[in-house]
Structure 1
Amino acid sequence: MSNEIYFSNNYRDLCEQHGTGAGFQFEFSCSRCADTWRSAFQPYTSGRAAGWADRVVGSAWGAFGRTGSEASSALGGLVGANWGPNKDKAFQKAIDDAKAHFNRCARCTSYVCGRCWNAAQGLCLNCAPDTAAEVAASQQRGLNDVASQRAYEVGGSQGAAYNVDRSTQLVCPQCSTETHGARFCPGCGHRLAQQDTCSSCQAVVPQGAAFCPDCGTRR
């Protein structure tokens, strides 16, 4: 081809070589937002004729015999030989048409649609973001940052009063329910992470013991 081909990475080939739908069509996409634009369908007459001939030969095999088959094969060879040059020509036309729908950024060389184009700067919105949009985004970031900092400070004051020495069990040993640090299991009511003490001498009694190990009082 004499002309340089652009859109090398952001187009999709929708061409069909054979059958009643034979023709050329290409889908181009914006490098920034991925929105697509399709070129106008360009029929491939030879491919359609070959598809028609295959149907005729197939239905009339008994009447035409090998002669009809050879004619169909010859037409198929012609379709294949003409496919490449015709496709290149159609692709070049599609590219020329696509240039009316896409803009090439002078900085990053990407092709973008009109919605992703900063016409005042001649650059895509990735390279030259819209000022009003950037201001609004910065305001929102500032709001989020300050609110997050204030929430962190509130959490810090609450954390200062949190009893970090108290023993906790995050999973109930009786029913395996998650406790989230509660004193009693929300699933079965089992008392969690609390040592039993003797009612007589207040000594710590091991879990499951029937008598106090210090004074012998029955539990």
Structure 2
Amino acid sequence: MSDDLHFSSNYRDLSQQYGTGSGFQFEFYCQSCSDTWRSPFAPYRSGQASGWVREIGNFASNLLGGLGNGLDNAVEGLAKAGWGGSRDEAFKEAIAAAQAHFHRCARCHNYVCDRCWSTDSGLCQTCAPDLSTQVQAARHQGKLEAAMENAREYGKGQAGQVDVATAKQLVCPQCGCEARGGKFCPDCGFRLAAPDECSGCHAKLPAGSRFCPECGERTGASLAKA
């Protein structure tokens, strides 16, 4: 792999500057599958020393007043001063170690892991997909599309059994409950199957009518509410 591997956008800095756990560590991730690899932890001795001195300084402050704080501040300042250079050196070593785990695609310029790399083409598998995988996926897609087409044709054959002429009420006019095209309201039992007929003139009654719009006769719905 080339020496200009920078990992400018696919890493996280997990380093810790101060404390007894102070050190350098970097997490790199594959820009195709997001799998991660962490560089070995490299201790930052000055930062660790500042952590130990801080603990000693807190103890000394209780005995000697400001002397402990002064020592703590001095060591912490030393750790801070050397942090930048030490971190840069640790990052260079981490990048050198990461080169064994990642490849840079010449087409899309992403860094990918071994599993997402095509050795034959020298490209990532997003830019140069595995042929066997693509063929298998295409076969499955063909089966899926053919099955869906068969299902549509079968559904067309079943359409003759569906009553498309009779008007359906989706909401009960009496209680407002969703009826979903049923014959009766599932909440109050109101009859929804078909428009009622006027008992007087036998004209079709609009849903929820309390009086016949043709002859003025009171309907069953009107009597039920009375």
Q: Tell me the TM-score range normalised by the shorter chain.
A: 0.7 to 0.9
Q: Within 2, Cα distance between the matches of 1:112 and 1:218?
A: 75
The aligned residue for residue 48 of structure 1 is: 48
Specify the SS of the correspondent of 1:204. Answer: coil
Specify the SS of the correspondent of 2:143. Answer: helix
Q: Within 1, Cα distance between the matches of 2:20 and 2:153?
A: 70
Question: Within 5 Å, which residues of 2 pair with 1:200-211?
Answer: 201-205=201-205, 207-209=209-211
Question: Within 5 Å, which residues of 2 pair with 1:78-97?
Answer: 78-97=78-97
Specify the SS of the correspondent of 1:31. Answer: coil
Amino acid at match of 1:74: A
Alignment CA distance shift 1:26-1:218 (3 Å): closer
Alignment CA distance shift 1:153-1:71 (3 Å): same
- Asked if 1:213 is matched to 2:196, the reply is no
Q: Within 2, Cα distance between the matches of 1:39 and 1:211?
A: 84
Alignment CA distance shift 1:119-1:200 (3 Å): same
- Asked if 1:177 is matched to 2:177, the reply is yes
Question: Within 5 Å, which residues of 2 pair with 1:30-41?
Answer: 30-41=30-41
- Higher mean Cα deviation, 36-45 or 180-189? 180-189
Alignment CA distance shift 1:218-1:128 (3 Å): closer
The aligned residue for residue 73 of structure 2 is: 73
Shift of 1:198: 3.9
Q: Within 2, Cα distance between the matches of 1:83 and 1:211?
A: 90
Unmatched runs of 5 consecutive residues or more in structure 1: none
Shift of 1:200: 6.1
Specify the SS of the correspondent of 2:79. Answer: helix
Alignment CA distance shift 1:218-1:188 (3 Å): closer
Specify the SS of the correspondent of 1:12. Answer: strand
Name the % identity.
Answer: 46
Q: Within 2, Cα distance between the matches of 1:218 and 1:4?
A: 87
The aligned residue for residue 189 of structure 1 is: 189
Shift of 1:88: 0.4
Alignment CA distance shift 1:83-1:7 (3 Å): same
Question: Within 5 Å, which residues of 2 pair with 1:9-24?
Answer: 9-24=9-24
Shift of 1:161: 5.5
TM-score, normalised on structure 2?
Answer: 0.84
Alignment CA distance shift 1:84-1:161 (3 Å): same
Contact 1:211 1:218 in 2 (8 A): no
The aligned residue for residue 120 of structure 1 is: 120
Alignment CA distance shift 1:210-1:164 (3 Å): closer
Q: Within 2, Cα distance between the matches of 1:178 and 1:218?
A: 23
Unmatched runs of 5 consecutive residues or more in structure 2: 221-226
Amino acid at match of 1:80: K
Contact 2:26 2:38 in 1 (8 A): yes
